[in-house]
Amino acid sequence: MLKKLYPYRFELFLFSQITILFGSLIFPGDFFETLISPVLFFINLLAGIVLISKKKKLMWFFVVLLIISGIVFSAGLLEDIGNKSLKLLNMGTYFLFYSIVTFEIIKQIWDTQFVNRNVIFGLISGYISLGLISFFICLSIEISHPTSFEGLRATVEQPQLFTERLMYYSYITLMTIGYGEIVPVTSLAQKAAILIGMMGQFYLVILTAIVVGKYINQKDR
């Protein structure tokens, strides 16, 4: 099964990421935040297993992360969904997952000799993964140190708006747009904003340039 899906690994991973980012446009906010969003992240973990399925040890590590994610989700349904320790464990699981899978995507793109549609999908999904890493960094900071980001206070009582706005901030910072509605006010949050901006620029400047260079050389041949 994994061998059949492997050629489509980047497409599957990218599609599952897009549903995470824009699923709230289809489903109601509370319903999406409490039930649909965890399921979509779970599916994204499955797509990540397909993506690294050729590395058996890493694949089994992802299976362990998948199990942890399932346990945390079930515990969240049975207990207080606002449990701080439970949230931090969930954030840590996904941060580790996206850090590893982003590194693997970058490595696969870096090592590729032929630029095709699959590589382009991988390039896009890697950038989206950086945004999700940024989101979990910011969310972990806000959970452990509340009011680290000014502009979120009005949404604290509405979890679906709170996470959506923080994800919005993460991607806006990654793309170095910075509209200014949400502002990092603590030293930790400000350092995170610098890190996120640098990650986005390094990815675009270095990896995209490498892919474009390989494509030009490929055309010249």
Task: Transcribe 35-62 into DSSP letters.
Answer: IIHHHHHHHHHHHHHHHTTTSHHHHHHH
Q: Which two tokens stand for residue 159?
A: 């979890």
Query: Given this model, what pLDDT does residue 74 score?
Result: 63
Phi, psi of 150 (to 5 degrees): -80, 135
Query: Given this model, what pLDDT does residue 201 score?
Result: 93
The H-or-E segment that residue 149 falls in is strand 149-150
Query: Given this model, what pLDDT does residue 80 score?
Result: 47
How far apart are alpha carbons 83 and 74 in whole angstroms?
A: 13
Query: Given this model, what pLDDT does residue 133 score?
Result: 93
How far apart are alpha carbons 28 and 96 in whole angstroms?
A: 29
Query: Given this model, what pLDDT does residue 81 score?
Result: 47
Q: How far is CA 102 from CA 16, 37, 119, 207, in A?
A: 15, 20, 14, 12
The H-or-E segment that residue 96 falls in is helix 84-111
Q: Which two tokens stand for residue 133?
A: 């890493």
Query: Given this model, what pLDDT does residue 77 score?
Result: 52
**Cβ burial, residue 100 (10 Å; 0-12/13-18/19+):** middle
Query: Given this model, what pLDDT does residue 48 score?
Result: 87
**Cβ burial, residue 220 (10 Å; 0-12/13-18/19+):** exposed
How far apart are alpha carbons 170 and 79 in whole angstroms?
A: 29
How far apart are alpha carbons 42 and 20 in whole angstroms?
A: 10
pLDDT digit string (tens) for the chain, length 221 residues? 777 888 888 888 999 999 988 887 887 767 777 778 878 888 888 888 888 888 888 888 888 887 877 776 666 555 544 566 777 777 788 888 889 889 988 888 888 888 888 889 989 999 999 999 999 899 889 888 888 998 876 555 565 677 888 999 999 999 999 888 899 999 999 999 999 999 999 999 988 888 888 888 887 66
Answer for the pair 208, 123: CB distance below 8 angstroms, yes or no.
yes
